[in-house]
Homo-oligomer: A and B are copies of this chain.
Amino acid sequence: MPFPHYGQPRYRAVADELRRRIETGTIRPGTLLPAESILTAEFRVSRGTIRQAIAVLRNEHLVTTEHGRGTYANACRHASGPGAELEARERHVSADPELAALFAVEVGTVLLEHESVTRTNGTVGLVVRTYQLLQAEQ
């Protein structure tokens, strides 16, 4: 079984298969993934390889791991259908006094605002807004 890996690493192949199961609903959102020991037996790879594969999915925010509990499948957010919402947008806003002072411009000067929303399990966890001058020299 320990084949040399030409081209694709094994942990990536495992990650691809697990991702497929989550996105197709074979592993449903909110449910636990099989334990590392189970996955080790199924894929015939070492525990480290399984953990590496899960780390890939965690980095993609597709799963969440809890110490002593297990790894949960999150709601996948890559639906490209009609219900897909925009998580980021840009718009022009007027500088409030604080922003005006920071940028050394007059209050009301138009700034470019970029807003991005990150959700965890469907609920908003963090909102990030960036502001910059329109004619950015950098």
Check: A125 CB closer than 8 A to any chain B CB. Answer: yes
What separation, in Å, do the CA atoms of A120 and B133 have in the docked complex?
Answer: 13
Known: A117-B102, A120-B138. A128 touches B125 (CB 8 A): no
Q: How far is the CB of A78 from chain B (nearest CB, A)?
A: 16
Place the interface of chain A in its size category. Answer: 20 to 34
What separation, in Å, do the CA atoms of A117 and B102 have in the docked complex?
Answer: 8
- In chain A, residues 83-138, which have Cβ atoms closer than 8 Å to a Cβ of chain B? 99, 102-104, 117, 120, 123-133, 136-138
Write the chain B residue with the least CB distance to A133: B125
**Of B104, B124, B128, B131, which one neighbours A123 at CB under 8 angstroms?**
B104
Task: Report how many copies the assembly holds.
Answer: 2
Question: What are the residues of chain B within 8 A of A128 when measuring CB–CB?
Answer: 128-131
**Of B120, B123, B124, B136, which one neighbours A125 at CB under 8 angstroms?**
B136
Quick check: A132 and B125 within 8 Å, CB to CB? yes
Question: What are the residues of chain B within 8 A of A126 when measuring CB–CB?
Answer: 130-132
Quick check: B138 and A132 within 8 Å, CB to CB? no
What separation, in Å, do the CA atoms of A20 and B10 have in the docked complex?
Answer: 34
Question: What are the residues of chain B within 8 A of A104 when measuring CB–CB?
Answer: 123-124
Q: How far is the CB of A59 from chain B (nearest CB, A)?
A: 8
Q: How far is the CB of A36 from chain B (nearest CB, A)?
A: 17
